């Protein structure tokens, strides 16, 4: 112990503590560490009665402490990673707003600091060789040694790995260096799967409409204060061109930019585009990179070698200095909201960072979220519109195919008569088609004709989805939640009947039917199975980048897929898109269902006719008069929004309120019910008449089961609170979490603000 005479104290968050113990702890700083221990430093501290050495993040330094005796900091854990003022503040912001632990926030913002401190993630080096003046004219014994010199006469320098590929050994290289014919340099390597050559590109001139949009947004970018803007433009209007011009402006003034996309499948084409302009000054961050690649990408960013960072949600934390702009492309997409702790929304992080750097947060979409469009209409955001497609491109003709009019035979097919006819027209003209199916797999579920039993997952309260290999009658039943798999039975497990019924369809069945209808067509399928091989029974597994590359190079006539194919892609030869079952998106039990359906249908339609060739879109439906479908067919977002926002206002739903979702989960069902009832009772005491938080305008709904009640043998219940997410409301939720976690060990509780699904 150190008494209170010590001059310097450090307030720290000890890593890997549970929520109930997650608070600031005070330690004294020994004299020999004063100056080394600063806010953001990763240190080792003694913790608990056993004084076990634990990692901690310093969040404050103070000359005084409220305690009489405190333990001393043991050591600085690493100099490989630390958090600057902005990132420390961001960790506190995330902890407060998402109710996570400080550890969760640190790992989200700065990466796995524990692994970096332990040396499990570190920089790698390579030896690089160059030829000396003496070596340029020297002749040496041995064919390999002579070949080494000849190779280096042709190149400025070569790495040891490259020279070993020419047959060189370490001994031979050392001998040539000792003879003064070569010099050796140790250089750091950056592991980067996106490192490749790009042909330099010249930006096309902006159209008058794009120039006007650029001028409006440039004034926001140049303002010496934080700004937010919404670039709202129809599909194919050239929003990316405007964004590119804004990036040029930011980079030319020494500022950096983050460009976010909602799907990993969109990353390759975005990287290719911007690397063709900015070359090696671009870095990529997303969850599919290896830990080593993410570590090296962050090192490049921190070193100042990067002007533009491209990636999915996690790239918003890129440690860029002097940020000028953060772009959220397709800003309405639900993937910008994390459903794992910490449950942050990317917009909130972007808004925080834009405020810190006095930067522009630019949202871009053809179908903005209601929350964003409402803020733009009410002048919280600058609203900039693009109302025409770029160049010669025109909006596609939309054909609403009423499946009720199909013959009985056609009605049994996934691909109806109208869509089949349009696909054949495209094949005849050697033009490409994209088809969207909202589910992967072969059939959605398998049931028994005799007893009605649906074959379900033993671990989750969902039916199993049938997956099949190509050209095979056998299949595998799979759970898309816990990955449970079992062979397709020949008989009903319940009554032993051999009469099984196969209902619904996914991408696999659609692919099979396409191959039967159009045997000469080259078909590519893009879903979670083909890009990752998760079904375990695919004949060939591609990654998303290769699939898109092959389709762009016209190695396929039809691209069939889930939502991966619906947004952002720009294929000049695609003149037909088809939505195989629009109804599946229209009738979901969530207040955002129509908003999402409109966005999805609009985005799919927008993939057609993006060049000089006219496009068509076929929407298969049994409800051709549905209002959302009709608005989407006309690409009429303004009318759709105007109609829907009135209902939102009348019901006091977002953007006119917030929803707080409390989820309780346990593998013990009885204890879950008891805990849920007690939490519900406690919540009503706090917000009810005379309660400590009765001044909050909040409505608590009765507990309900989660939409999927059991997942991997964990049961889940929910409490929903309609409120305004004010500081006082955050205090209420924090109180509930702290009380609950101290009382229950077998039931967990988490909070999610404005979740993607309720």
**Residues 311/284, Cβ–Cβ less than 8 Å:** yes
Distance CA 241, CA 264 (A): 21
Distance, in Å, from the CA atom of 9 to the CA atom of 7, rounded to the nearest integer, reads: 7
Q: What is the DSSP letter of 559?
A: E
Helical packing angle, 727-743 and 669-687, nearest 10°:
140
Tokens of 406: 């199909």
The pLDDT-based confidence of 196 (bands split at 50, 70, 90) is low
Most confident option among 201-205, 368-372, 387-391, 547-551 = 368-372
Task: Give mean pLDDT, residues 228-246.
Answer: 94
Query: In the chain, what are the helix, strand and coil shares in percent, each to the nearest 5?
Result: 35, 25, 40
Lowest-confidence pick of 194-198, 203-207, 401-405, 531-535: 531-535
| Closest of 329, 106, 320, 360 to residue 229, by C-alpha | 360
Residue carrying the six token digits 């589910």: 439
* Distance, CA of 693 to chain centre: 36
CB atoms within 10 A of CB 553: 8
pLDDT given for residue 538 in this prediction = 41
Q: Does domain 397-441+506-649 have CATH number 3.30.420.110?
A: no
pLDDT of residue 333: 94
Among 615, 607, 540, 611, residue whose Cα is nearest residue 575: 615
Geometric angle at alpha carbon 580, from 576 and 583, rounded to 5°: 130
Q: Give me 528's structure tokens.
A: 């979670």
Say if residues 465 and 444 touch (Cβ distance below 8 Å). Answer: yes
- Per residue in 136-170, pLDDT (tens digit) is 888 888 888 988 998 898 887 888 888 888 888 99
Residue 443 near residue 505 (C-beta atoms within 8 A):
yes
User: DSSP letters along 359-374, please?
Assistant: -EEEEEESS--HHHHH
Which architecture, in CATH terms, is 124-189? Answer: Orthogonal Bundle (1.10)
The secondary structure element, H or E, covering residue 176 is helix 170-178
pLDDT of residue 471: 65
pLDDT above 80: residue 560: yes
CA distance 243 to 362: 9
Give the sheet arrangement for strand 616-621, strand by strand: 397-402, 616-621, 574-579, 432-436, 558-561, 523-526
Pairing mode of beta strands 308-311, 282-285? parallel
3-state secondary structure (DSSP) of residue 621? strand
d(Cα 309, Cα 253) in Å, to the nearest integer?
17
Which residues sit opposite 259 in a β-bridge?
310, 327
DSSP assigned state of 207:
P
Cβ of 613: how many Cβ atoms within 10 Å? 16
Range from 118-132, 559-573, 629-643 that averages highest in pLDDT: 629-643
pLDDT attached to residue 536: 40
Identify which of 261-270, 565-574, 595-604 has the greatest average pLDDT. Answer: 595-604
Q: How far apart (Å, rounded) are the C-alpha atoms in residues 498 and 112?
A: 52
Between strands 69-70 and 475-478, the pairing is unpaired
Strand ranges inside 313-352, DSSP E? 323-329
Per-residue pLDDT for 734 more than 50? yes
Assign residue 21 a region (left: φ > 0; alpha: ψ between -120 and 50; beta: otherwise).
alpha
Beta pairing class for 465-468 and 445-448: unpaired
Of 88-92, 283-287, 532-536, highest mean pLDDT? 88-92
The angle at the Cα of 371, spanning 369 to 372, to the nearest 5 degrees, equals: 70
Tokens representing 332 are 């309405």
Does residue 559 surpass a pLDDT of 80?
Answer: yes
E strand residue ranges, 469-546: 475-478, 485-487, 500-503, 523-526
Is residue 751 within 8 Å of 673, Cβ to Cβ? no
Residues 244-261: what's their mean pLDDT? 96
Contact 401, 418 (CB under 8 A): yes
More confident residue, 400 or 533: 400
- Output the DSSP codes for 215-235: HHHHHHHHSSS-EEEEEEE-T
> Cα 407 vs. chain centroid, distance in angstroms?
42
Per-residue pLDDT tens over the stretch 332-377 = 999 999 999 999 999 999 999 999 999 999 999 999 999 999 999 9
Distance CA 516, CA 274 (A): 40
pLDDT of residue 606: 85
Tokens 């989200």 locate to: 108
Domain regions of the chain by residue span: 2-110, 124-189, 208-386, 397-441+506-649, 443-504, 658-753
What dihedral do alpha carbons 401, 403, 405, 408 form, nearest 10°?
140
Percent of the chain at pLDDT > 90 equals: 69
Span 656-680, pLDDT tens digits: 999 999 999 999 999 999 999 999 9
Q: What is the pLDDT of residue 539?
A: 41
Secondary structure (H, E, C), 462-486: CECEEEECCCCCCEEEECCCCCCEE
Question: Six-digit token pair at 684?
Answer: 């009503």
* Domain topology for 658-753: Alpha-Beta Plaits (3.30.70)
Locus of tokens 């990763």: 42
Contacts of 553 (CB under 8 A, 6+ apart): none
For 208-386, which CATH superfamily applies?
A: P-loop containing nucleotide triphosphate hydrolases (3.40.50.300)
One fold for both 2-110 and 124-189? no
> Is the pTM higher than 0.85?
yes
Q: What is the pLDDT of residues 440-462, one digit of tens each?
A: 888 888 999 999 999 999 999 99
pLDDT at 411: 64
Q: Tell me: cis bond preceding 95? Omega within 30 of 0 counts.
A: no
What digits encode the pLDDT tens for the residues 398-430? 999 999 998 776 667 899 999 999 999 999 999
Q: Does the pLDDT at position 758 exceed 70?
A: yes
pLDDT at 1 over 80: no
C-alpha Rg value of the chain to the nearest Å: 29
d(CA 334, CA 536): 27
Question: Measured in whole angstroms, how far is the alpha carbon of residue 601 from the centre of its chain?
Answer: 21
What pLDDT score does 566 carry? 79
Specify the pLDDT at position 499. 92
Q: In what order do the strands lie in the sheet with 182-189?
A: 158-159, 124-131, 182-189
CA distance 414 to 420: 10
Architecture of domain 2-110: 3-Layer(aba) Sandwich (3.40)
């Amino acid at each position: 112990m150190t008494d209170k005479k010590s001059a310097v104290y450090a307030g720290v968050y000890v890593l890997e503590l549970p929520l109930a113990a997650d608070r600031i702890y005070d330690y004294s700083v020994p004299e020999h560490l004063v100056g080394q221990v600063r806010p953001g430093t990763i240190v080792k501290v003694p913790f608990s009665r056993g004084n076990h050495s634990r990692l901690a993040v310093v969040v404050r330094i103070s000359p005084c402490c409220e305690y009489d005796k405190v333990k001393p900091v043991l050591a600085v854990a690493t100099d490989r990673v630390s958090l600057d003022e902005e990132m420390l503040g961001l960790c506190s912001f995330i902890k407060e707003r998402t109710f996570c632990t400080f550890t969760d926030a640190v790992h989200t913002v700065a990466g796995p600091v524990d692994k970096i401190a332990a040396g499990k993630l570190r920089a790698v080096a390579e030896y690089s060789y160059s030829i000396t003046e003496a070596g340029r004219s020297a002749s040496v014994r041995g064919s390999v040694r002579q070949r080494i010199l000849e190779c280096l006469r042709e190149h400025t320098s070569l790495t040891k790995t490259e020279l070993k590929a020419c047959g060189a050994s370490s001994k031979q290289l050392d001998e040539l260096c000792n003879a003064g014919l070569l010099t050796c340099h140790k250089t750091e390597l950056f592991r980067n799967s996106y490192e490749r050559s790009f042909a330099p590109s010249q930006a096309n001139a902006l159209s008058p409409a794009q120039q006007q949009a650029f001028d409006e947004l440039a004034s926001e970018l140049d303002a010496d204060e934080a700004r937010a803007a919404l670039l709202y433009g129809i599909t194919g209007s050239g929003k990316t061109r405007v964004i590119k011009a804004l990036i040029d402006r930011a980079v030319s003034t020494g500022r950096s930019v983050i460009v976010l996309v909602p799907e990993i499948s969109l990353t390759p084409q975005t990287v290719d585009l911007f690397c063709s302009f900015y070359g090696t000054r671009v870095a990529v961050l997303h969850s599919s990179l290896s830990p080593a690649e993410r570590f090296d990408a962050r090192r490049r960013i921190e070193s100042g070698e990067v002007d533009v960072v491209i990636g999915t949600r996690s790239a918003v934390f890129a440690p860029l200095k002097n940020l000028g702009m953060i772009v959220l492309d397709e800003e309405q997409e639900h993937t910008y909201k994390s459903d794992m702790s910490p449950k942050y929304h990317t917009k909130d992080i972007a808004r925080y960072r834009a405020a810190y750097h006095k930067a522009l947060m630019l949202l871009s979409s053809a179908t903005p979220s209601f929350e964003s469009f409402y803020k733009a209409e009410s002048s919280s955001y600058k609203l900039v519109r693009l109302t025409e497609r770029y160049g010669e491109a025109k909006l596609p003709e939309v054909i609403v195919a009423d499946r009720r009019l199909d013959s009985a035979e056609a009605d049994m097919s996934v691909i109806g008569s109208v869509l089949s006819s349009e696909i054949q027209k495209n094949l005849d003209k050697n033009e490409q088609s994209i088809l969207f199916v909202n589910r992967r797999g072969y059939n959605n579920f398998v049931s028994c004709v005799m007893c009605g039993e649906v074959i379900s997952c033993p671990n989750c309260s969902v039916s199993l989805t049938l997956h099949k290999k190509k050209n095979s009658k056998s299949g595998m039943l799979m759970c898309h939640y816990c990955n449970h798999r079992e062979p397709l039975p020949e008989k009903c497990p319940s009554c032993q009947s051999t009469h099984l019924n196969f209902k619904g369809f996914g991408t696999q069945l659609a692919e099979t039917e396409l191959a039967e209808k159009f045997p000469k067509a080259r078909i590519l399928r893009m879903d979670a199975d083909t890009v990752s091989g998760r079904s375990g029974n695919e004949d060939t597994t591609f990654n998303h980048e290769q699939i898109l590359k092959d389709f762009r190079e016209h190695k396929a006539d039809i691209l069939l897929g889930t939502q991966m194919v619906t947004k952002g892609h720009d294929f000049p030869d695609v003149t037909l898109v088809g939505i195989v079952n629009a109804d599946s998106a229209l009738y979901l039990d969530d207040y955002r269902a129509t908003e999402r359906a409109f966005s999805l249908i609009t985005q799919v339609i927008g993939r057609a006719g993006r060049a000089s060739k006219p496009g068509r879109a076929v929407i298969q439906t049994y409800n051709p008069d549905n209002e959302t479908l009709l608005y989407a067919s006309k690409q009429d977002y303004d009318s759709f929004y105007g109609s829907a926002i009135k209902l939102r206002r009348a019901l006091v739903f977002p953007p006119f309120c917030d929803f707080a979702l409390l989820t309780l989960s346990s593998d013990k069902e009885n204890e879950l019910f008891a805990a849920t009832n007690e939490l519900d009772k406690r919540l009503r005491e706090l917000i009810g008449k005379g309660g400590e938080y009765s001044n909050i305008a909040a409505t608590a709904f009765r507990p309900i089961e989660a939409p999927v009640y059991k997942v991997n043998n964990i049961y889940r219940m929910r409490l929903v609170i309609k409120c305004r997410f004010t500081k006082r409301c955050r205090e209420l939720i924090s109180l509930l979490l702290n009380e609950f976690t101290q009382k229950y060990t077998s039931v967990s509780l988490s909070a999610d603000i404005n979740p993607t699904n309720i």
